[in-house]
A and B are shown apart, each in its own frame.
Chain A
Amino acid sequence: MVASAITATADIGLTITAPRKHRSTLASVVNTLRNRPLAVAGIGIVLAWLIIGLLAPWLPIANPDAQNLAQRLKPPSGDHFLGTDELGRDIFSRIIWGARVSVPAGVAVILVTGIVGCALGAISGYVGGTVDTLIMRAADAILSFPSIILAMTVTAVRGGPGLGNALIAVGFVLWPEYARLMRSQVLSIRENEFVTAAKSIGADRNRILFRHVLPSTDAPIIVKATLDVGAAIVLTAGLSFIGLGAVPPTAEWGAMIKQGADKGLQYWWYALVPGVAIMSVVMGLNFFGDGLRDALDPRRRGR
């Protein structure tokens, strides 16, 4: 009874201070970002792609799968202002529909791999001992392979081409860095006095890890995740380009570049357009990520 009363007070203490700290950080982050036009433009581009992709079915554009063999491989014109592919499909429309695949896939992969990696890293750092050794050595092993080669191998081991296999491979390759980052944060945070305090009032291990340690970790992981969404999009597109990712007729940007390249250089618009789309998203994420890093780093804030 007494113990639970103390826990309750401790919780109230947390709820009183936590949101205030949170609000002030968020406000200052938004404030700093506002002074960085590149970061704002960056997130704008990414959000625009996400929204356009989301709205694709309701936009007044051609059916991305409608074939018209009389109109095959036509350069950009009034009818098809980004040209057509080898089946006479409208490339503009396929790019828009491709945004439904490439951008959310990159976000989803990083979300899942980031959470899994962070969880493993947190457990590793907090529990220590054999668990720590096992997780961190596995991470070391994966990090000693170059990502694209390991991703290729994982895709092949999972039975070959397919967007699902490619995304699993990308996630498999990227989790160890989150685990490492999280582990080092947890290691330093758990030495703090509020952890000792929580322990002394009888909070169990899970409670301390999830209610006290995890909420105190932050900035570097968010910045890394933002930049990694771009890396994941490029890696997935690369797997599609070599034929291990999305398979036709999926309108995925990397696969479209591959199909365009296979047709020949004279049909330049076919591979050019999806490449510009990928570049715009990745650059947007890089600009935003850099801005976010500055905004979250108190030493750089306001500079």
Chain B
Amino acid sequence: MGIWSYVGRRLVQSLLVLVLVSIATFSLAHLVPGDPIETILGERAAGNPEIRAAAERRYGFDQPVPMQYVYYVRNLLQGDLGESITTRRPVVEDLRQFIPGTIELAIAAMLFAVILGIPLGIVGAIKQDRWPDHLARFVALIGTSVPVFWLGLLMLYFFFYKLHWLPGPGRLDTGMKAPERITGMITIDAALRGQWDVFRSSVVHIILPAIVLGSFALGILARMLRSSLLAALGDDYVRTARAKGLSEGQVVVRHAIRNALIPTITVLGLTFAGLLAGAVLTETIFSWPGIGRYSVQAALKLDYPGLLGVTLFVASAYVVVNFLVDIIYGVLDPRIRIG
């Protein structure tokens, strides 16, 4: 099967999942207790009969439920996610404001996980069952069994409160102004605008939250790479490489790792989507203005449009990343396309 028909098939599957996701958020919105119009407009506006009637037409509440879903999807496609009860702004605008902060944090966390996780996984496989392996597995275990919010507090206590090595919560030093928005990611915007003091401050501020958010991904990545590298090291082509006299380092770097990285990339993609969700707790601890903290505030104030907007965004991001990972996987490994 050619690569394009593979891409096409995966695209159709992904679109189907997106439809499922929209049905799920639509159902959740309908499970919300109380008056749906009031949920969307807020109590005061819903009290006005004219506004109410207009909203009923716009969202199709005068229609039967299947038609309401059609209206819902149409509004979604037009970028209408309703209005946030807390910020009194369209949810789409809120998302546009807060998404870059979360993506910036997720990228930083991923960098941390990759920079530390890959060596940890390699060492674990090469020195199997010796102390570096045990150490690596222990770190990986900690990364997957410590509650992320507690790890965040611990890090803040040591590196901020006790040692003063790193700054506390927030994205910049107090009193420092964020650079004029280009991407919304302060580190990148500051660099693009050449404001190096702001850049420096934003980088040191992102270190702790990135470590905390990345610790889970680090654990998964290291374990995954270790096991796939161990499998690769037992393969025939590795024996061939050894037999023709390559040094152990060359065998690992030139042959085994290349193959072991393929499954690792899949996990990496899924973990990145997971980071967007893990940001909920990390952003809360570090007062990081991203969609995670926004969704927590929305949930606590029962701001359903805001909360469902984030839910929809993150689920769609999941689906899109999944799709991209599958495509990369298919390109790297032709067997997947056929299977």
Interface residues of A (CB under 8 A from B): 137, 140-142, 144-150, 152-157, 159-161, 230, 234, 237-238, 241-244, 254, 257, 260-261, 265-266, 268, 271-272, 275, 278-279, 282-283, 286
Contacting pair A268 B157 (CB below 8 A): yes
Contacting pair B141 A148 (CB below 8 A): no
For chain B, what secondary structure do more than half of its interface residues adopt (helix, strand, loop), or is it mixed?
helix
The residues of A that contact B117 with a CB separation of less than 8 Å are none
Contacting pair B149 A153 (CB below 8 A): no
The residues of B that contact A160 with a CB separation of less than 8 Å are 300, 302
Contacting pair A155 B299 (CB below 8 A): yes
Could you say which of B160, B298, B299 has the most chain A C-beta atoms within 10 Å of its C-beta?
B299
**B-side interface residues, number (CB < 8 Å):** 47
Cβ of A268 to closest chain B Cβ, rounded Å: 6
Contacting pair B21 A242 (CB below 8 A): no
The residues of A that contact B276 with a CB separation of less than 8 Å are 146
**Residue in B23, B32, B149 whose beta carbon sits within 8 Å of that of A141 in the complex:** B23
Cβ of B128 to closest chain A Cβ, rounded Å: 13
**Residue in B17, B147, B280 whose beta carbon sits within 8 Å of that of A152 in the complex:** B280
Contacting pair B150 A279 (CB below 8 A): yes
**Residue in A157, A242, A278 whose beta carbon sits within 8 Å of that of B281 in the complex:** A242
Query: Given the known A-B contacts A144-B20, A144-B315, A272-B154, are A238 and B281 also in contact in the complex, defined by CB atoms under 8 Å?
Result: yes
Contacting pair B302 A286 (CB below 8 A): no
User: Closest 8 interchain pairs by CB?
Assistant: A146-B277, A275-B150, A141-B20, A265-B161, A282-B145, A141-B24, A152-B299, A156-B299
CA distance A237 to B150 in the complex (A): 10
Return the chain A residue nearest B150 by Cβ: A275
Cβ of A75 to closest chain B Cβ, rounded Å: 14
The residues of A that contact B100 with a CB separation of less than 8 Å are none
Query: Given the known A-B contacts A146-B314, A152-B299, are A157 and B28 also in contact in the complex, defined by CB atoms under 8 Å?
Result: yes
The residues of A that contact B285 with a CB separation of less than 8 Å are 261
Whether a CB of chain A sits under 8 angstroms from the CB of B201 is: no
Cβ of B96 to closest chain A Cβ, rounded Å: 18
CA distance A150 to B284 in the complex (A): 17
Contacting pair B311 A153 (CB below 8 A): yes
Whether a CB of chain A sits under 8 angstroms from the CB of B289 is: no
Return the chain B residue nearest A142 by Cβ: B24
Given contacts A144-B21, A278-B150, 5 further A-B contacts (CB under 8 A): A145-B311, A148-B281, A237-B147, A241-B281, A261-B149
Could you say which of A147, A150, A153, A154 has the most chain B C-beta atoms within 10 Å of its C-beta?
A153
Cβ of B212 to closest chain A Cβ, rounded Å: 13
The residues of A that contact B150 with a CB separation of less than 8 Å are 257, 271, 275, 278-279
Contacting pair B146 A279 (CB below 8 A): yes
Contacting pair B315 A230 (CB below 8 A): no
Contacting pair A257 B277 (CB below 8 A): no
Cβ of B334 to closest chain A Cβ, rounded Å: 26
The residues of A that contact B281 with a CB separation of less than 8 Å are 148, 238, 241-242
The residues of B that contact A271 with a CB separation of less than 8 Å are 150, 153
Please list 6 pairs of residues, one from A and one from B, whose beta carbons are closer than 8 Å in the complex, sorted by A's number: A146-B277, A155-B299, A243-B300, A275-B154, A279-B145, A279-B150
CA distance A159 to B318 in the complex (A): 27
The residues of A that contact B277 with a CB separation of less than 8 Å are 146-149
Q: What 0/1 readout, one digit per residue, does chain B (283-299) give for beta carbons within 8 Å of chain A?
A: 01100000000011011
Contacting pair A144 B17 (CB below 8 A): yes
The residues of B that contact A153 with a CB separation of less than 8 Å are 28, 299, 307-308, 311
CA distance A97 to B144 in the complex (A): 26
The residues of B that contact A150 with a CB separation of less than 8 Å are 311
CA distance A279 to B32 in the complex (A): 34
Whether a CB of chain A sits under 8 angstroms from the CB of B156 is: yes
Contacting pair A238 B145 (CB below 8 A): no
The residues of A that contact B298 with a CB separation of less than 8 Å are 156
CA distance A230 to B145 in the complex (A): 8
Cβ of B288 to closest chain A Cβ, rounded Å: 14
Query: Given the known A-B contacts A152-B295, A156-B307, are A145 and B31 also in contact in the complex, defined by CB atoms under 8 Å?
Result: no
